[in-house]
Amino acid sequence: MTIKAFVIGHPIAHSRSPLIHGTWLAEHGIDGTYEAIDVAPADLPTFFERLRSGEFSGGNVTIPHKEAVFALCDAVDPLARTIGAVNTLVVRDGKVFGRNTDYLGFLGNLDAAAPGWSDGPNDAVVIGAGGAARAVLVALRRRNGGKVHVLNRTLANAQALVEEIEGPFEAHGFDDFAGLAAHTGLVVNTSAIGMHGTRFDWLDMGLLPKSCLVTDIVYTPLITPLLADARAHGLQTVDGLGMLLHQAVPGFAAWFGVEPQVTPNLRARVEATLDH
Ligand code: NAP
């Protein structure tokens, strides 16, 4: 029987998930489908009834439904609650289970592109305190041995975040970067800066140790001004496209029963759809 999965959002045409999962379905010769379905917010409860009928094995959830589905799921993974968003649904025996795989995507990307990145205690600087920062903090809480300094334009938002998500976290304004840089082993940008050519005017890469790893979860453009700057200073960098690809792995495995690989072929196919 054909196994069916989906991504729901509103709008949904921009989603790259059908390309990712479609590539894996073809690579593994699986009798399955993965379709993009536009579901308006008012139609979400009806869509969940359809899910409980067993038509689908599961699927992804994107904007604007990532929070609204909490109330509709039969159970939600505690880490998805901490992150505050569900991006993956798994249907079993007429019940819908919600998860968040963004933190696994973040870890999978760094593990693949910078093996050993979390060996030894490393203090990290995380820029931004929005939704994506929550997944990154949950990831770093698991794997990074050192302190995590959360730097945000609006200090109050960083303070609220570190109070809510328990861990070795400290909130800062951007001005604190210069004082922290010399002891930083990892810089992660989770803020919207980097999109549409925007850049940080306060971030002096020259203050970071040469061993520092710099990663940006913004992937449009693929090489953000932050990454270009880091490279110009001889620092190792990891772009954000891998996070998007790796976050898809656990969902595919749960729905189709095969753990897929993030291959150069998959990356090239998705990269070809990005604006350069
Ligand atoms: P969000 O919840 O809207 O948070 C935006 C963050 O950016 C906030 O910390 C905000 O600071 C900061 N910010 C916005 N404009 C700024 C400016 N002009 N100067 C300084 N700071 C600014 O967004 P999000 O959901 O966390 O997403 C952030 C980015 O991550 C997006 O580009 C998204 O595409 C990307 N992302 C990538 C992946 C992936 O798989 N690679 C996954 C998720 C998200 P304030 O608190 O001061 O407003």
- The residue written with tokens 């609204």 in the block is 68
Ligand 1 contact via 152 beta carbon (within 6 Å) = yes
pLDDT above 80: residue 236:
yes
Per-residue pLDDT, 27: 96
Is CATH 3.90.420.10 correct for 104-242? no
What are the pLDDT digits (tens) for 189-215?
A: 999 999 988 999 889 999 999 999 999
The confidence score (pLDDT) of residue 256 equals: 98
Query: Does residue 139 line the site of ligand 1, with CB under 6 A?
Result: no
Placement of tokens 């205690």 in the chain: 121
Per-residue pLDDT tens digits for 102-118? 999 999 999 999 999 99
CA distances from 44 to 52, 67, 79, 95, 251 (A): 13, 12, 23, 15, 20
Q: Which fold has domain 3-101+248-271?
A: Rossmann fold (3.40.50)
103 lines ligand 1 (CB under 6 A): no
pLDDT tens sequence across 45-78 = 999 999 999 999 999 999 999 999 999 999 999 9
- Residue extent(s) of CATH 3.40.50.10860 domains in the chain: 3-101+248-271
Every domain range in the chain assigned CATH 3.40.50.720: 104-242
147 flagged as catalytic: no
* Amino acid 91: pLDDT: 98
Query: What pLDDT score was predicted for residue 276?
Result: 58
How many other CB atoms sit within 10 Å of the CB of residue 168? 17
Beta bridge partners of 194: 196
Q: Kindly state the average pLDDT of the residues 259-271.
A: 97
Question: What is the rounded distance in angstroms from the CA atom of residue 41 to the CA atom of residue 153?
Answer: 31
Task: Kindly report, residue by residue over 98-154, the tens digit of the pLDDT.
Answer: 999 999 999 999 999 999 999 977 899 999 999 999 999 999 999 877 999 999 999
pLDDT interval class at 155 (50, 70, 90): very high
| Residue 252 contacts residue 258 (beta carbons within 8 Å) | yes
pLDDT of residue 145: 77
**Distance from residue 128's CA to the centre of ligand 1 (Å):** 6
